[in-house]
């Protein structure tokens, strides 16, 4: 048996291998110097992510490469989403450093869990097999459970972690059960093999549809779509804000990659079935997310319901690739690239919005309520302007990246014939504008309730400023990001 063993090509998985090896170094450094030099673990983590980015860029050749017995793929889609993941996690670490230090949470285990979460996301993004995808998903999920509960003395964080763990385990079970049924119907665990079996009609359609339902349930949980959204408000609210920022940004990229690889790459032959299921979940998510957010006085819960709504919009693009059972390559690529564009735009906006929450928080004080933003313009006109950009962009007001992201997915849905759904989505988007504009009103028209000076490190201020400028600039020049998403998909399909 050993004679038949073929050494896999490790080159496509170089970033993952580098991150894993560096995590051991972070662990060793924390054990040796963690008590006296806590900054070293955080700095090493950022260096690790920068190293991963350099390796990813260096190994990008525009070709699709399979390795590990066709279980791992390195293509343009994987490289692009991994680079966005590295950037997101680095921004999270810069935003959250002072917050964690003020609360005694800047420990080695936090940075290790962040690294292993990132590794899980990277494996999910490059998965070419159901087994690989599930391993990456579990590595990400288990690390996130630990991060939510990292403040062990906080009962709210512990409760949120328990809810997340129980519901996450249920969702993982549903996903795994769906994968096993699809394997039973097609005889393959490879994403390409499942697609081939569907193309040649070598499947048991009944078993396949049951598997699809379970699979979609697991995907919907990871995206936070209704009716699998229950965990999002409690986890966003209960977790330390730096962890909430992490959960609300980079994992969305991995969840999008999982959705694209499973639904478009593997189960494209069942598009007519999963598109209708996604349609129902998208409409419910947009409706419930926007309506429930209006009643929130806690900004973390407001942004949690906002996330549900935004994922509903992203799914509108994902479900618009096939029109009336007919496949038009131009329409399909346009729809899926618009969904990717929306995911990238949302991550940028989420980073900026939660970054502002972290900016206003300080030692012994959590700036979680809407009232904490009162009079922000009087305290800091620049950062009030950044929050205004984030709120306008999330509301879909021109000319910010959020507007063009919404426009792209709605246009794709109209071309697919979902005009009535687009009208409903636009109406709920108008409803949702209320709670975003309420934050703007509090910042510019109300007297401040807190006169404490806004203090933050230079790197925090610079990165948050660049974050706000990026959201505005990509709104003025949206074609650059859209073309990048389109090119990436065309080179990966």
**464 close to 355: Cβ distance less than 8 angstroms:** yes
And the tokens for 235? 């986890």
Percent of the chain with pLDDT over 90: 64
User: Would you call the peptide bond into 258 cis, given omega within 30 degrees of 0 as the criterion?
Assistant: no
Domain boundaries, the chain: 270-493
* Rounded distance between C-alpha atoms, residue 398 and residue 414, angstroms: 20
Measured distance CA(221)–CA(167) in Å, rounded: 9
Nearest to 282 by CA among 344, 213, 347, 220: 220
Q: Are 93 and 457 in contact (CB under 8 A)?
A: no
pLDDT at 325: 64
- How does DSSP classify residue 69? T
| Backbone φ, ψ for residue 451 (5° rounding) | -100, 5
pTM of the predicted model, to two decimals? Answer: 0.94
Per-residue burial over 80-118, b = 16 or more CB atoms within 10 Å of its CB, e = otherwise:
bbbbbbbbbbbbbbbbbbbbbeebebbbbebbbbbbbbb
CA 128, 282, 224, 373 torsion: positive or negative? Answer: positive
In tens, the pLDDT along 44-66 reads 999 999 999 999 999 888 788 88
pLDDT at 1: 47
pLDDT of residue 479: 86
Per-residue pLDDT of the chain (493 residues; tens, 9 = 90+): 456 667 777 888 999 999 999 999 999 988 888 666 778 888 999 999 999 999 999 988 878 888 888 899 999 999 999 999 999 999 999 999 989 988 888 888 999 999 999 999 999 999 999 999 999 999 999 999 999 999 888 889 999 999 999 999 999 999 999 999 999 999 889 998 999 988 887 777 888 999 999 999 999 999 999 888 889 999 999 999 999 999 999 999 999 999 999 999 989 888 888 989 999 999 999 999 999 999 999 999 999 999 999 999 999 999 888 776 677 778 888 899 999 999 999 999 999 999 999 998 876 778 888 898 998 988 889 999 999 999 999 999 988 999 999 999 999 999 988 999 999 999 999 998 999 999 999 999 988 887 777 888 899 999 999 999 999 999 888 888 889 999 998 888 7
pLDDT digit string, tens, across residues 16-49 = 999 999 999 999 988 888 666 778 888 999 999 9
pLDDT tens-digit series, residues 431-454 = 989 999 999 999 999 888 877 778
DSSP 397-419: -TTSHHHHHHHHHHHHHHHTT-H
* 390 contacts 349 by C-beta, under 8 angstroms: yes
Are 357 and 299 in contact by the 8 Å Cβ rule? The answer is yes
How far apart (Å, rounded) are the C-alpha atoms in residues 389 and 370?
Answer: 17
DSSP conformation class of 13: G
Q: Angle, nearest 10°, between helix axes 231-238 and 155-186? A: 140
pLDDT at residue 2, rounded to an integer: 53
């Amino acid at each position: 048996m050993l004679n038949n063993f073929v050494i896999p090509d490790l080159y496509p998985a170089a970033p993952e291998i580098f991150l894993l090896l560096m995590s051991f170094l972070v662990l060793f450094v924390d054990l040796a110097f963690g008590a006296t030099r806590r900054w070293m673990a955080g700095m090493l983590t950022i260096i690790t992510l920068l190293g991963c980015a350099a390796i990813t860029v260096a190994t990008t050749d525009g070709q699709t490469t399979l390795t590990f017995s066709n279980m791992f793929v390195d293509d343009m889609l994987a490289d692009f989403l991994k680079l966005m993941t590295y950037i997101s996690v680095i921004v999270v670490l810069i935003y959250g450093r002072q917050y964690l230090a003020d609360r005694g949470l800047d420990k080695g285990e936090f940075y290790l869990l962040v690294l292993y979460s990132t590794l899980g996301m990277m494996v999910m993004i490059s998965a070419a097999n159901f087994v690989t995808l599930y391993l990456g998903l579990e590595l990400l999920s288990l690390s996130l459970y630990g991060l939510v509960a990292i403040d062990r003395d906080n009962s709210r964080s512990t409760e949120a972690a328990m809810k997340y763990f129980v519901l996450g385990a249920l969702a993982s079970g549903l996903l795994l059960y769906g994968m096993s049924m699809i394997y039973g119907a097609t005889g393959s665990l490879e994403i390409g093999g499942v697609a081939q079996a569907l193309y040649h009609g070598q499947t048991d359609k009944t078993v396949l549809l049951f598997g699809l339902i379970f699979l979609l349930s697991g995907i919907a949980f990871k995206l936070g779509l209704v009716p699998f959204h229950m965990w999002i408000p409690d986890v966003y609210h209960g977790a330390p804000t730096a962890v909430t920022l992490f959960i609300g940004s980079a994992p969305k990229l991995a969840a999008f990659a999982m959705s694209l690889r499973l639904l478009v790459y593997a189960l494209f032959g069942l598009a007519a079935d999963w598109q209708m299921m996604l349609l129902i979940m998208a409409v419910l998510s947009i409706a419930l997310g926007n309506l429930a957010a209006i009643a929130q006085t806690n900004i973390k819960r407001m942004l949690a319901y906002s996330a549900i709504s935004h994922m509903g919009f992203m799914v509108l693009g994902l479900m618009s690739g096939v029109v009336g059972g007919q496949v038009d390559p131009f329409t399909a690529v346009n729809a899926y690239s618009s969904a990717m564009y929306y995911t990238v735009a949302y991550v940028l906006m989420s980073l900026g919005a939660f970054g502002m929450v972290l900016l206003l928080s300080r030692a012994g004080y959590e700036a979680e309520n809407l009232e904490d933003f009162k009079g922000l313009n009087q305290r800091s006109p620049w950062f009030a302007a950044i929050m205004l950009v984030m709120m306008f962009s999330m509301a879909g007001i021109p000319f910010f990246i959020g507007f063009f992201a919404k426009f792209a997915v709605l246009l794709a849905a109209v071309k697919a014939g979902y005009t009535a759904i687009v009208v409903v989505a636009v109406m709920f988007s108008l409803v949702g504008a209320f709670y975003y504009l309420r934050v703007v009103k509090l910042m510019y028209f109300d007297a401040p309730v807190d006169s404490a000076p806004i203090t933050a490190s230079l790197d925090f201020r610079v990165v948050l400023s660049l974050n706000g400028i990026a959201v505005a600039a990509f709104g003025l020049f949206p074609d650059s990001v859209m073309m990048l998403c389109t090119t990436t998909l065309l080179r990966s399909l």
